[in-house]
Amino acid sequence: MRILYLEITPEGHKSSNGYSILKMLMPEAEIVIPELPEDPMDALSVLKLKANKINPDLAIGVGLGGTMVQHLYGTYRILVNPIYTLSRNIGTLSIRLPNGEKKHTLFSPQQQAVMSLLLKKQFIYTPYGEEQYIYGLFAAKNDYLRYCETFFKQHFKYNFHYEGEEAMTEEDWAENVMPIVRIMEQQKTHEKKKILYIDLDGTLVDYESGKETLTADERSQYGEDAYKVPGYFSRLKPKAKAIESFKMLSKKFDVYILSTAPWSNPTSWSDKARWVKKHLGIYGYKRLILTHRKDLNIGDYLIDDRPHNGAAQFSGVWLQFGKAPLDNWEKATEYMLSVGKKQCNGDRTFCNIKNYNDERPILYVDMDSVLVNFADGIENKISEEEREKYKDHYDDVPDFFARLEPIEHAVEAFNKLSEEYNTFLLSTAPWDNDLAWTHKMEWVMKYLGAKAKKRLILSHHKNLNRGCILIDDSSRNGVKEFGGKWFQFGKPPYENWEKMLAVLNMKLDKTGTADKER
């Protein structure tokens, strides 16, 4: 692999010797550091020319180096703590030279003015489709860099945090940059790995470990039903070697976390998202799927300690954790690395599914802008202070989803669809908004009631679910790759629920009740 590396750090910012760390972590990679002129605009022009000449597989930029590498359109690139605003008097820049050494150079007021102008235009000319090539990595403990992240998020979808300082350690590079490199390699080569799902409770997570955290009041109120305690699932510890095994298996498999959150404990939905982010970091980024029907997921292997919630009916191979040959995570990892060499293809059937004695076709309905009036929420349920703070990312407002109301006739339509189809809700919760996972579940309970009980699936990969029909307004999160029929809600001929039901040979009467056309 050929990597273009550019590290430019303004005075007042801490740099890390990413060059030396990369050479150690990737000894077979060719790492090229371009020598650039001091004028920012000239440097950017030379950088583009050199990138075209050496044709790197990946470009990594640190600090202002990340800001400049962002302009290498069409190249896979990682921006480490990119800088999008400058203080008035930087003084000097720290620049990594082609020999790997660092030099300090004066940054004149004229050069700073040019760089400030460049930063102001940073996102104006970004070509369409660039979001698939670019990943941003930001230090969570640095308020300024988190502020820069808000700019990045307005234009690109792959933004990550790491818990370390701005100057990344060897461990920071190994745990945060290297997983992104592997993701990009897989995207670039279109490598198809076998799909492996891993359960949380009793598998990755030591479910019993939370009981020692219960207060006297919680023990008195909930007794043996610890799973109903608010916040319980975020307190749990990983099983021995579980995290190391997950990371190791992620190199060989396309790994997802497939778990069930108790319907009787709304906070558990957010708690599980928090647990994944805390313990798995980038390895678990947008890979958590919460469902009560694991049999509806496409895949090759499922590691789960129990047969419940569709695990025993999984379309691929269910491997029961805690029993031979998966007695513990050391043995489970050894076994999976051996079976990973064998052929195993889970059932990819979409419509003809043996489905708990329910022969009706499976239909999925999205929530945001399909059942839920998302536009009204943006228009009328966000304060001016929140608009300023969250910019265009209104779904990051902590309780935004709790404020939303149904789209006209959405509830009536869902009720009727549930009579004719085996209907589930298939939605995505924002990765940066933990509370959204709980609020979506509570919205379903509030507006759809018993007919939707245990029928909510939260996933960033809708193409991994088997079914006949998906009603969704957007092509994102795997919708375009869904194996059944996708009906795009809000677009002709599905502009509203009345027209959508007409396509399905149903209609809404004047009172809003859905009836089947005879």
List active site positions. 199, 201
Which strand (E) or helix (H) includes residue 25? helix 18-25
- Contact between 272 and 233 under an 8 Å Cβ cutoff? The reply is yes
- Contact between 298 and 349 under an 8 Å Cβ cutoff? The reply is no
Please state, in angstroms and rounded to a whole number, the distance separating the CA atoms of residues 457 and 290. 6
Assign 237 to helix, strand or coil: strand
DSSP 252: T
Please state, in angstroms and rounded to a whole number, the distance separating the CA atoms of residues 273 and 288. 7
Please state, in angstroms and rounded to a whole number, the distance separating the CA atoms of residues 470 and 108. 57
Neighbouring C-beta atoms of residue 101, cutoff 10 Å: 11
Assign 304 to helix, strand or coil: strand
Give residue 250's identity as a one-letter amino acid code: S
Please state, in angstroms and rounded to a whole number, the distance separating the CA atoms of residues 467 and 463. 10
Residue with tokens 């590290």: 7
Burial class (CB in 10 A: 0-12, 13-18, 19+), 384: exposed
Which strand (E) or helix (H) includes residue 195? strand 195-198
Look at phi and psi of residue 322 and say left if phi exceeds 0, alpha if psi is from -120 to 50, else beta.
left
Neighbouring C-beta atoms of residue 1, cutoff 10 Å: 14
- Contact between 421 and 516 under an 8 Å Cβ cutoff? The reply is no
Please state, in angstroms and rounded to a whole number, the distance separating the CA atoms of residues 6 and 19. 9
Residue with tokens 């001091």: 38
What is the token pair recorded at 392?
Answer: 């265009």
Assign 165 to helix, strand or coil: coil
